[in-house]
């Protein structure tokens, strides 16, 4: 085996959404790029299958790949680091590479705190192929001169190569290696229909929101041609029989004309469509919503963050709040489920601005609202500000500290009153959800069996309560064998 790519399972993480587990499309792109170049490649999504690090170690040692690539973010990084440590302790002599959002943001930290050979910073397709070519050629230092690599040389020192330019023409990327993933029926989100497929049609974001990490896709917005995007959807429908499509773009509607053309093209497929990662409310009009509705969109998510115009400016989101109300009204009039996402305890929040956020959420009245404590992301402007002027209340190697829905304040900056933030956090949920009409509406909108199960999984995960076996949909031992015959039956969590 030349290459194994792994999405680790954060088994000890707290405050994560157990109702939503999307396919690791970034790894699927990497796997496709390597396989298309002729390298024998495997991809293990340990997250959805709940495969622990010890079992992963045993499998890797049995296959003995030349290169292991592990992708981590702020939630999965402790699990990834643990896997690296277990491989090292077991004497694995292949190369181990880390990539993904957190390693791209903090390459020096990741190289110093783990036994990996290199960090891939940013988009990884071309970087991985260059590394694999150097390995195949027998080069003693396969990362030397490879743009986008931060690596450890033979003398034990670290070397930072120049950044790799972003992929300009996304149509040149390979079709993701969906066939190397577990069946789509194992993945979970708010489901009107199953199985659920997922796509990303664009990369990059020109906005400068201070709480966001753009270390992988960067500031430049790029998108597939509509023809290429629809080709992927057609392959998912014909080859994998999907009946729902989750679109995971960060900025799906940044180019409004392109977005309209995309949804026109999606209409003939007859899918249920979930805009999982949300859209900007000020990049939307009624024609687009009509096309979304015709294409099968049943849920949209709007990132609002703050209901204070002052805070909107200071976090550099600069969202026009009247547009949020307008887009919410338009979408709900068309029968779409609307989510509103808010953050409490932003660096510039006060009692006044947090009250404005709660009042705005009530005025907006989406079908569902999430109020989160700010989780500082490495690579964001907020992270740098806390490093300089404040203090963190969590450690990156603490697996229980970084769930997005963990009920705790993660940092302190001068002027911040942590007790006040906690008070408004609980107040937000009480005021929004403890309304009889809101409770009835939430249940009424979730009457479809798949959506109701998703709702229960989400609530239990966010509240850090155990999820009953009957709701977890873990594969039976027999199905595990059929899923990936090389994996031992007992390597997957059965509780």
Q: Which of 426-430, 433-437, 472-476 has the lowest mean pLDDT?
A: 472-476
Q: How far from 461 is each of 13, 364, 401, 440, 457, CA to CA, in Å?
A: 10, 26, 14, 21, 6
Q: What is the pLDDT of residues 479-493, one digit of tens each?
A: 443 344 444 444 445
Residue 407: pLDDT band with limits 50, 70, 90: low
Lowest mean pLDDT among 30-44, 230-244, 442-456: 442-456
The answer for residues whose C-beta is within 8 angstroms of residue 86's C-beta and 6 or more apart is 53, 54, 56, 57
For the chain, the 3-state helix, strand and coil shares in percent, each to the nearest 5, are: 40, 15, 45
Q: DSSP 3-state assignment of 87?
A: helix
Query: Global pTM?
Result: 0.90
Closest CA to 371 of 437, 427, 436, 452: 427
Residue with the larger pLDDT of the pair 376 and 439: 376
Domain 3-167+477-491 sits in CATH 3.90.1150.10: no
Spell out the domain ranges in the chain: 3-167+477-491, 192-447
Point out which residues pair with 279 in neighbouring strands. Answer: 302
Residue 408 — pLDDT band, cuts 50, 70, 90?
Answer: confident
SS3 of 300, please?
Answer: strand
pLDDT at 55: 92
Is the predicted pLDDT of residue 220 greater than 50, yes or no? Answer: yes
Decide yes or no: CATH 3.40.50.10860 for domain 192-447: no
């Amino acid at each position: 085996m030349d290459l194994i790519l792994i999405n680790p399972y954060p088994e000890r993480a707290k405050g994560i959404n157990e109702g939503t587990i999307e396919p690791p499309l970034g790894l699927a792109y990497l796997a496709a790029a390597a396989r298309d170049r002729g390298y024998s490649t495997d991809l293990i999504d340990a997250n959805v299958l709940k495969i622990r690090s010890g079992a992963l170690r045993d499998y890797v040692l049995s296959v003995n790949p030349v290169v292991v690539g592990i992708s981590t973010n702020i939630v999965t990084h402790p699990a990834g680091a643990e896997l690296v440590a277990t491989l090292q302790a077991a004497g694995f002599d292949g190369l181990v590479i880390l990539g993904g959002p957190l390693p791209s943001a903090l390459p020096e930290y990741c190289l110093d705190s783990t036994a990996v050979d290199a960090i891939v910073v940013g988009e990884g397709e071309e970087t991985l192929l260059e590394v694999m070519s150097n390995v195949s050629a027998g080069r003693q230092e396969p990362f030397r001169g490879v743009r986008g690599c931060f690596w450890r040389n033979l003398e034990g020192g670290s070397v930072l190569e120049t950044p790799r330019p972003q992929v300009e023409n996304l149509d040149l990327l390979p079709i993701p290696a969906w066939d190397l993933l577990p069946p789509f029926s194992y993945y979970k989100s708010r489901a009107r229909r199953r199985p659920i497929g997922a796509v990303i049609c664009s990369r990059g974001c020109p906005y400068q929101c201070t709480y966001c990490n753009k270390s992988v896709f960067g500031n430049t917005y790029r998108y597939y041609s509509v023809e290429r995007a629809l080709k992927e959807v057609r392959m998912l429908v014909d080859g994998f029989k999907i009946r729902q499509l989750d679109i995971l773009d960060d900025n799906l509607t940044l180019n409004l004309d392109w977005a309209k053309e995309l949804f026109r093209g999606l209409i003939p497929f007859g899918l249920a469509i979930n805009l999982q990662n949300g859209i900007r409310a000020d990049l939307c009009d009624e024609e687009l919503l009509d096309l979304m509705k015709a294409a099968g969109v049943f849920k949209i998510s709007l990132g609002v963050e703050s209901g204070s115009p002052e805070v909107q400016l200071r976090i550099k989101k600069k969202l026009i709040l009247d547009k949020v109300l307008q887009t919410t009204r338009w979408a709900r009039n068309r029968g779409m489920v609307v989510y509103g996402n808010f953050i409490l305890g932003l660096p510039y929040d006060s009692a006044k601005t947090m009250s404005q956020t709660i009042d705005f959420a009530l005025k907006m009245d989406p079908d569902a609202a999430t109020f989160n404590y700010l989780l500082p992301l490495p690579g964001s402007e907020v992270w740098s500000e806390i490093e300089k002027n404040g203090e963190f209340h969590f450690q990156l190697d603490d697996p229980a500290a970084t769930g997005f829905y963990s009920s705790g304040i993660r940092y302190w900056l001068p002027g911040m009153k942590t007790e006040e933030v906690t008070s408004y956090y609980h107040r937000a949920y009480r005021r929004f959800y403890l309304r009889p009409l809101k409770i009835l509406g939430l249940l009424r909108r979730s009457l479809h069996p798949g959506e109701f199960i998703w709702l229960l999984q989400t609530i239990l995960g966010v509240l850090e309560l155990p999820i009953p076996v009957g709701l977890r949909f873990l594969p039976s031992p027999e199905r595990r064998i059929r899923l990936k015959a090389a994996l031992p039956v007992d390597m997957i969590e059965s509780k």
